[in-house]
């Protein structure tokens, strides 16, 4: 799974992007921080079905060499940054 940590939201924002593209708060966070993450995800509309599909498609297209790293970074910057940070690229 890819963890997403956008800034300048709470520095301890941490969410998991599941294989289906859905974003959930990281289970290790306190209940209060999990709620802050859920609120931010809702506010930014990061968890819409269209976004699920787009995140999955961009990551799969990159891993299948259908798009370049530059294209992936440009159109899915948060997913690209986390994949880069986790050594998946």
Cβ atoms of 76 and 55 closer than 8 Å? yes
Asked whether the predicted pLDDT for residue 11 surpasses 50, the reply is no
Cβ atoms of 27 and 37 closer than 8 Å? no
Model confidence, pTM:
0.61
Q: Higher model confidence: residue 20 or residue 72?
A: 72
pLDDT tens for each residue of 14-29: 565 666 777 778 788 8
DSSP string covering 14-49: -EEE-TTS-EEE-TTS-HHHHHHHHHHHHHTTTT-H
pLDDT tier at 81 (50, 70, 90 boundaries)?
confident
**Number of domains composing the chain:** 1
Distance CA 76, CA 89 (A): 13
In which domain, by residue range, is 34 found? 1-89
Asked whether the predicted pLDDT for residue 84 surpasses 50, the reply is yes
pLDDT tens for each residue of 37-65: 888 888 888 888 888 888 888 888 998 99
Cβ atoms of 72 and 62 closer than 8 Å? yes
């Amino acid at each position: 799974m890819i963890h997403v940590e956008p800034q300048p939201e709470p520095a301890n924002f941490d969410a998991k992007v599941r294989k289906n593209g859905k974003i959930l708060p990281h289970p290790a966070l306190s209940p209060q921080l999990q709620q802050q993450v859920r609120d931010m995800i809702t506010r930014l509309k990061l968890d819409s079905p269209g976004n699920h599909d787009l995140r999955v498609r961009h990551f799969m297209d990159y891993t299948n060499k259908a798009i370049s790293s530059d294209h992936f970074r440009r159109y899915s910057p948060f997913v690209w940054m986390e994949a880069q940070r986790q050594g998946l690229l």
